[in-house]
Amino acid sequence: MTEMTRHNSTAEIRALDAAHHIHPFTNTRELNAKGARVITGAEGVWLTDSEGNRILDGMAGLWCMAAGYGRQEIVDAVAEQMRELPFYNTFFQTTHEPVAELSQLLSTLTPPQFNRFFYTSSGSEANDTIIRLVTYYWQLLDKPRKNVIVSRRGGYHGSTVAAAAVGGFDAMHRQPGLPVGNVFHAPRPAWWAEGGDMSPEDFGQKVARDTLSLIDGIGVDRVAAFLAEPVMGAGGVVIPPETYWPMLWAGLKERGVLLISDEVICGFGRTGNWFGCETYGTEPDFMTMAKALTSGYVPMGAVAVSDRIAEVLIDKGSEFTHGYTYSGHPAAAAAALVNLRILRDEGLVERVRDDIGPYLQEKWTALADHPLVGEAVMKGFFGAMQLCADKAGRVPFPEDAEVGIIARDHSFNSGLVMRAVGDRLIVSPPLVLSRAEADDLIEKAAVTLDKTLADVRRLGLT
Ligand code: PXG
């Protein structure tokens, strides 16, 4: 059996990495100066690094690890599929069992309007696919001018050219290379940062109204679809006020603007239901899926297409000229099948809704009592903590103080992966987290806050 060369010293791996690897969303010069942390293994919710540290993975890998690390059933299914049929395409009048079975299983897990699925290898590709499907749909209905996508500031939809263009990250738009038009960005329902003196409820309605006004200004004859995450993830776990989605959804429906629910993070239990759109009561025509679809064991993304859209595409359309070599990859489909059965049969989504979710939420939201924390919010297993200079006045720290980064590093060094989005610390643990591990997570988060507060005081930031 051939094996990969194993380098056993951390320094050696770091040197190879620094010399030859370009990391995503990373300042390579800065990283190379300090060296990357080398992750060597994982089990359950725990990571191990090359120095032997055990770290609680509060970010589920990168929002994807739902079923937990070390699931032998998934590994076995993928290995068996690879032995039987490691690859065959689904382009030329061919299919295979894992992709057909996965599609059937997804039709039982997704909201009732979804019975057809298109596959990709990532969330970005899935969003690109949806943009092409949406504009094709309107063309088939003789409305070719309906080709504008409205998405949101602060939304993240991926890094391919089209997905980055609909994304609302200023830094990505500042970097050249996004030659995609027909995109408008609506405001985000981020009450802590932007709600001013309004109550969260009033602010939610205001943002919904402003979004609908933006759409009306562009013209309903031009707007093909509104694209949004039910809860904004990479933008800092922005949990919308409860008033936002009902008003916005009613307005979209009234105007005949399609809703694309980007469920790449929210999907498969993160918000306490199978899909985020169920948590907020919307009925989208498309869902973007990836990440927890396979718990990240093998890359896979998917697009859910509603019956009313699929009927037009199939009955009126001819060939949909779009596809990826790995659309419906058999090994990825095998991983997804077993992973989704685990989530379903172990009741992991219900557990987040009814048991471990409320347990963690209560402890997490109590962290708001810490002097550094402006708000601590959690929906399902999706949490954020806003660090700030003055709680009562909702005054942020100066951006260049990078308090979020200071806190993130303390967290990592205390044995907990949290992410910092600006000065918002976010968590999204694997759905299999136990009560004892939830206690541990909270304890480590509290230590992180204390250490950060000490630094903030030393730096004279409060
Ligand atoms: N939509 C959403 C909502 C996402 O969160 C994508 C689409 C793109 O998926 P792919 O598989 O193409 O990466 C994502 C991805 C972060 C971070 O820093 C988040 C993502 C990816 C990388 C980093 O939070 N989300």
**CA 202 to CA 453: how far, in whole Å?**
32
The helix/strand/coil state of 195 is: coil
Residue among 48, 50, 20 nearest 32 (CA): 20
Residue among 2, 305, 311, 301 nearest 140 (CA): 311
Is any ligand 1 atom within 6 A of the Cβ of residue 156? Answer: yes
**CA 113 to CA 195: how far, in whole Å?**
34
Minimum CA distance residue for ligand 1 atom 9 = 123
Is any ligand 1 atom within 6 A of the Cβ of residue 124? Answer: yes
Is any ligand 1 atom within 6 A of the Cβ of residue 423? Answer: no
Helix (H) or strand (E) run with residue 303 in it: strand 301-306
**CA 314 to CA 306: how far, in whole Å?**
12
Cα 316 to ligand 1 centre (Å): 33
Cα 6 to ligand 1 centre (Å): 30
**CA 283 to CA 257: how far, in whole Å?**
12
* Contact predicate 58/417, CB 8 Å: yes
**CA 254 to CA 248: how far, in whole Å?**
10
**CA 158 to CA 151: how far, in whole Å?**
13
For the purposes of burial, counting CB atoms within 10 Å of the CB of 196, is it exposed (0-12), middle (13-18) or buried (19 or more)?
exposed
Please identify which residue in the block is written with the tokens 């806190």.
407
Rounded to two decimals, the pTM is 0.97
Cα 374 to ligand 1 centre (Å): 26
Which tokens is 364 given? 């997490």
Cα 99 to ligand 1 centre (Å): 23
Residues 6+ apart with CB under 8 A from 338: 71, 73, 74, 77
Is any ligand 1 atom within 6 A of the Cβ of residue 262? Answer: yes
Minimum CA distance residue for ligand 1 atom 16 = 234
What are the extents of the domains in the chain?
37-70+355-458, 73-345
Measured on CA atoms in the order 386, 391, 394, 396, is the torsion positive or negative? Answer: negative
Report the topology of domain 73-345: Aspartate Aminotransferase; domain 2 (3.40.640)
- Reading the chain (462 residues) residue by residue, the pLDDT tens digits are 445 566 679 999 999 999 999 999 999 999 999 999 999 999 999 999 999 999 999 999 999 999 999 999 999 999 999 999 999 999 999 999 999 999 999 999 999 999 999 999 999 999 999 999 999 999 999 999 999 999 999 999 999 999 999 999 999 999 988 877 899 999 999 999 999 999 999 999 999 999 999 999 999 999 999 999 999 999 999 999 999 999 999 999 999 999 999 999 999 999 999 999 999 999 999 999 999 999 999 999 999 999 999 999 999 999 999 999 999 999 999 999 999 999 999 999 999 999 999 999 999 999 999 999 999 999 999 999 999 999 989 999 998 999 999 999 999 999 999 999 999 999 999 999 999 999 999 999 999 999 999 999 999 998
- CA 399 distance to own-chain centroid: 24
CATH of segment(s) 37-70+355-458: 3.90.1150.10
DSSP string, 248-261: HHHHHHHHT-EEEE
**CA 334 to CA 407: how far, in whole Å?**
39
Minimum CA distance residue for ligand 1 atom 20 = 234
* Ligand 1 closest atom vs CA 233: 5
